[in-house]
Structure 1
Amino acid sequence: MVVGDIATGTEVVVIGAGPGGYVAAIRAAQLGLDTTLIEKDAYGGTCLNYGCIPSKALVTASDVAHAAREAEEMGIHADPAVDMKGMVSWKDGVVDQLTSGVEKLCKANGVNLVEGTAEFADENKVRVAHGGDGQGSESIEFEHAIVSTGSRPVQIPNFEFDGEYVLSSRDALALDTLPESLVVVGAGYIGMELGTVFAKLGTDVTVVEMLDSALPGYEDDVARIVRDRAEELGIEFHFGEAAKDWERSGDGITVRTEDGDGTVSEFGAEKVLVAVGRTPVTDTVNLEAAGVETDERGFVPTDDRARTNVEHVYAIGDVAGEPMLAHKAMKEGQVAAEVIAGEPSALDYQSVPAAVFTDPEIGTVGMTEAEADEAGFEPVVGQMPMRASGRALTMNESDGFVRIVADGPSGFVLGAQVVAPEASELIAELTLAVEMGATLEDVAATIHVHPTLSEAVMEAAENAEGQAIHTLNR
């Protein structure tokens, strides 16, 4: 028997329980709004279940194995065996702990949780189809809606994901046996992170990229350090080549690429990972029924209060456009909830940091020197090489640098680029500096613990002022 359609109502409906959605729902409930959160898959969304958290778990595990294997210089001799099934089981345990925690937090804050697939029926109603035979559906009328449906991996022609030979990032993170060889299509942050993980675990990795460099969008000297390190790990790069097609070959596959001159190359491997970017999931919620507009790429344009062209419908996270980052989604979720509650909240994207969990890591925030110059500032730059950092040397991780960009006349910090061990942590101090309008003097005058990696931030600020002690001043 099929259960009939049930009608309910709520003040705020949130579609999608990823980082943006669950944060928006919790914040709205904290502000006294009757809030309903709808999720069709798993609480925490792609980030917690299939992206950020599982990938960083494997990054850490592969680092442990690689560090033990490469520690002879420190007088440590080891050859660790990698139990991929055990590693994935540990990773899944971390994911389960966090996703169950999200569900508990939502319930503890009074959020109504609904499982199912939602789509707009009109501008004030969504219909939710519940999974399973006989589960029926329900209609939920709302005063305000927040769309947080996230993104999915981009598929390219002739490389449809099958989970066996052609892998998405989600597939790659679920492998319980280590492939002997892997072709990675795409040298962006996802391809570089996962390529590094598998290389450290012992897989022969080949990266093909249609552009002429790895990590496009990052400055050359930043990307070059990461690429050089990847090559030391045995990763082979082929730039200027687009993935053309593939076929079964013996126990594995052959991937064919084509360069700008039409020359075709072949690469044999056990599997191929396609990591060429992500696209917003805005085609499943019937936005047209609510009158919500999307752009030519499928993103939902929003203002600085996360509002769409329909004033009471909001969009946050990956569906709202670049940068497609979980922490950006969380902030947008908070702002959307606060705006709905009548709070004077708005978004300011000048200090959104980004990180890439390669080896070494990359962390950036704000403007580069070129961007500052183009914006009309008179930039001054300070830099501290990690080879001059005592702590980096004691970690045997001395590749990279901390760079700080500031406005010369005022001293205000405009941005920073870090390529170093723990860059994802080091960038936090520099993000705060940009956010609060700190000056070079503020950063340089702050006493940092010795010996730490964070001293490099202080030294970079001092270098920009021409008074660094532990590196030559420019």
Structure 2
Amino acid sequence: MKKYDLIIIGSGPAGEKAAVKAAYYGKQVAVVEKRADLGGAGTNTGTLPSKTLKETALYYSGLNERGLFGVDKELERAANVRDFFFRKNQVVEQQEQGIAANFKLHNIDTYIGTATVKDPHTVVIEGKDAAEIEGEFILVATGSYPFQPPGIPFDGKFVHDSDTILNINRIPRSIVIVGAGVIGCEYATIFAVMGTKVKLVNSHEEILGFLDREICRELTADMEKIGIEFVFGSRIEQVEILPEEHTSNVHAKLTNGAPIEADMFLYAAGRSGASHNLGLEALGVEIDNRQNIVVDEKYSTKVPSIYAAGDVIGFPALASTSMDQGRVAVTHMFNFWGDEKISEQFPYGIYTIPEVSVYGMTEDEAQKKKIDYCIGRARYRDMPRGRIIGAKEGLLKLVVDRPTRKVLGVHIFGKIATELIHYGMDLVQNEDTLGRIVSRVYNTPTLHELYKYAAYNALIEGHYMDEPTGN
């Protein structure tokens, strides 16, 4: 039996970064991955594929350049599904190769097969690289899988979850997407831009309930402009798949009794932790009702030698936070220096078309906390750079503590919002004031000028202009 300092089950964002950190400090590390391809959902079915499809949809639709240069580009032929997935497949393959090279560089052993935790220090592997290995510590980083509501006939052809939608063999004429969370909204805009008729069904009366409501309204309005139809306050029931000769292959009823049909259905109704069949509960590891592993602030379970990180522990289930959770778990296992906890606040990136990214306090939260606040806004279309790139929509919004002029939150809707947010994140973390923002020099023309003009707008809205701006 080969012995390791650390055995990691799963090679996604949490598993990869934990493995490399431990190996960097000289620990002997093994990674067990059930798939033939490394990278987990982050590489193969989630983060990278959907974001690459977004860029593909923008390219084939010409949406970003439409009407800007006097002559719109035309493709020689209509894009088919092979074209649609071409770039996605390239990016996934390159990322998988990068992870494999990273493991090889750090002398990390990789086992392909299904893992079972036999005891607090032993993992049994079945499959291609069958073995029984021993580790001082075990990190479970098995990720999550799409939740499939009971009674829905998922067939991977007409009725999909967020994994199988990446295996479609045609671009549908119409699609019903159930669930208006991050995944549902991202795919809704991707398919709509590609020319698919999209209906987005949500049991609540709005999308993305954690967003600042003004930003949410901006996104909703833009989704409607590209043809997305919203069905709020209702659920899908009585789903039936019809033979292929029918115009619409999937027929269903809403809970209000109204019929709804489309070529395809996509259920984006949340995800559950992939903790089943690992043998963890028999060892005393606590697992909640969504199959998420329960951990403490050090990512340790109730079994001292077994840790867990990433989507398998539930919220926030982001690739970005999962990476740091894996690193922090390793820090506590071996008492390494640094990375003792991840930041309590972190940016959200939503890769709709256009993007949304947020950090810090929303206006709604400021109201609930009875904070004396003011708002600063700047729109893309009013910036020179915004005019150059033809941005018709886009908003940067600052939430500011009025007495101190400190920035409490930054909320962006528009192109490359997920890139622009990091400067806003620093503003909030450093407790920067409006005076400091307007006193800095920014490259022009750039979209970062949005921050300066939003700050000036906040100075006006907060009635500061007759007072010294200070620092």
How does the TM-score come out when normalised to structure 2?
0.90
Matches within 5 A, 1:226-305: 226-249=219-242, 250-259=246-255, 263-305=256-298
C-alpha distance in structure 2 between counterparts of 1:379 and 1:305, whole Å: 36
User: Using a 3 Å threshold, how does the CA distance of structure 1 residues 245 and 340 change in structure 2: closer, same or farther?
Assistant: same
Distance 1:79 1:268, change over 3 A: farther
Q: Deviations over 1:34-93 (max 9, x none)?
A: 111111112111111111111111100111222259723541234432132123133211
CA distance in 2: counterparts of 1:15 and 1:287, whole angstroms? 12
Distance 1:409 1:311 in 2: 48
Matches within 5 A, 1:50-129: 50-67=45-62, 71-72=66-67, 74-80=69-75, 81-129=78-126
1:102-153 deviations in Å (ceiling 9; x for gaps) = 111011012111111112111122211124xxx6x32222111211110111
State the match for 1:21 in structure 2.
15
Alpha-carbon distance in structure 1 between the residues aligned to 2:253 and 2:375: 41
Task: Give the Cα separation in 2 of the matches to 1:366 and 1:355.
Answer: 13
Amino acid of the structure 2 residue aligned with 1:200: V
- Could you tell me how far 1:321 is from its partner in structure 2? 2.0
Amino acid at match of 1:44: G
Partner Cα distance (2:251, 2:426) in 1:
45
CA 1:160–1:31: 2 relative to 1, 3 Å: farther
- Paired position in structure 2 for 1:195: 188
Match in the other structure for 1:48 = 43
- In 2 relative to 1, CA 236–123 (structure 1 residues): closer, same or farther, beyond 3 Å? same
Paired with 1:114 and 1:406, the residues of 2 have a C-alpha distance of: 51
Q: Following the alignment from structure 2 to structure 1, what is the Cα–Cα distance between the partners of residues 369 and 25? A: 38
Equivalent residue for 1:165?
158
**CA distances 1:148-188 after superposition (whole Å, capped 9, x unpaired):** 11011111122242111111222222324211111111111
Structure 2 partner of 1:371? 365
* Runs of at least 5 residues in structure 1 that lack an aligned partner in the other structure: 1-6
Structure 1 residues 442 and 315, CA gap change in structure 2 (3 angstroms) = farther
Mapped partners of 1:55, 1:326: distance in 2: 13
Deviation at 1:288, TM superposition (A): 1.6
Give the count of matched residue pairs: 457
Of 402, 409, 421, the match for 1:427: 421
Letter paired with 2:103: C
Distance 1:220 1:371 in 2: 10
Distance in 2 between residues matched to 1:326 and 1:425, nearest whole Å: 16
1:318-360 deviation line (CA, Å, top 9, x unaligned): 1122111000001111111222231243224433111111122
User: 2:26 is matched with which residue?
Assistant: 32
Partner residue of 2:3?
Answer: 9
CA contact (8 A) 1:199 1:235 kept: yes
Structure 1 position 225 matched with structure 2 position 181: no
Q: CA deviation at 1:377?
A: 5.3
For structure 2, list consecutive stretches of 5 or more residues without a partner in the other structure.
466-471
Tell me, in whole angstroms, the C-alpha distance in 2 between the residues paired with 1:70 and 1:264: 42
Cα distance in 1 for partners of 2:231, 2:421 equals 31
Task: Give the distance between the partners of 2:29 and 2:296, measured in 1 at CA.
Answer: 22
TM-score by length of 1: 0.90
Q: Report the equivalent of 1:4.
A: none
Aligned to 1:3: none
> Among residues 381, 386, 390, which one is paired with 2:380 in the alignment?
386
User: Once the two structures are aligned, what percentage of the paired residues are identical?
Assistant: 31
SS at match of 2:193: helix
1:374 CA displacement? 4.7
Measure the CA separation in 1 of the matches of 2:225 and 2:340.
45
